[in-house]
Amino acid sequence: MNDRSEASARPAPTRSRAQIISVSHGLFLMQGFHGTTMRQIAKHAGVALGSLYNHFTDKDDLFSAVFEAYNPYPTLLLALENSRGKDTEELVRTAARRMVNVLAARPDLVKLVFIDVVEFQGEHLRKAYPAVAPGLQDFARRLRKESGNLQPFSDDALLRAFFGLFYAFNMNEMLLGAPVDSDGQTAVLQELIEIYLNGILA
């Protein structure tokens, strides 16, 4: 085999890096950050252990790359941006359903956030937030714009309450188990929407 054919047979560095990130993502989700070793990652990615360190300084650096590649914020922001409603109530209902559906279709997003919160105290989420903050603030402004009687809560409170309820909806299913049927799941979501819109006092 000549030098040219040998070079063409080698995987491109960008492909190797992407493959390592993809494999690491799967292992981190299955085993957690601390439960996954660089040796396991190298084995599953089909590369030499030393090759990992050509791409990443250490396992922390690799997790940062995984989080950047699978960052949940842009996906959730897109769900909010694509939500429409003739008033605040309809906008909230549409946005909540969209976000819950996205998270149900991508359970890896919830698990990745859970790993970051538990094993990194939310370090990567905090770093990723500024990039999506303007879009989230825009969603809060849309809630105000469509309402004639919204209480004078801060944008921060509106967003925290929204994400707290509807992100937790999916995370609670992971931790506590899903409702016994889809009707029960739908009913819980409807109740959470009512809590967000009207509070819990009769």
Same domain for 84 and 159, yes or no, is yes
pLDDT at 75: 93
Write out the residue range of the structural domain in which residue 126 sits.
71-198
pTM across the whole model = 0.82
- Cα separation, 109 vs 195, whole angstroms: 24
pLDDT digits (tens, 9 = 90+) for 160-175: 999 888 888 877 766 6
- Cα separation, 157 vs 186, whole angstroms: 25
Can you tell me the mean pLDDT for 143-151?
A: 80
Same domain for 23 and 86, yes or no, is no
Give, for 48, the enclosing helix (H) or strand (E). none
Can you tell me the mean pLDDT for 10-31?
A: 85
The residue out of 19, 36, 68 marking a domain boundary is 68
DSSP secondary structure string, 13-47? HHHHHHHHHHHHHHHHHHH-STT--HHHHHHHHTS
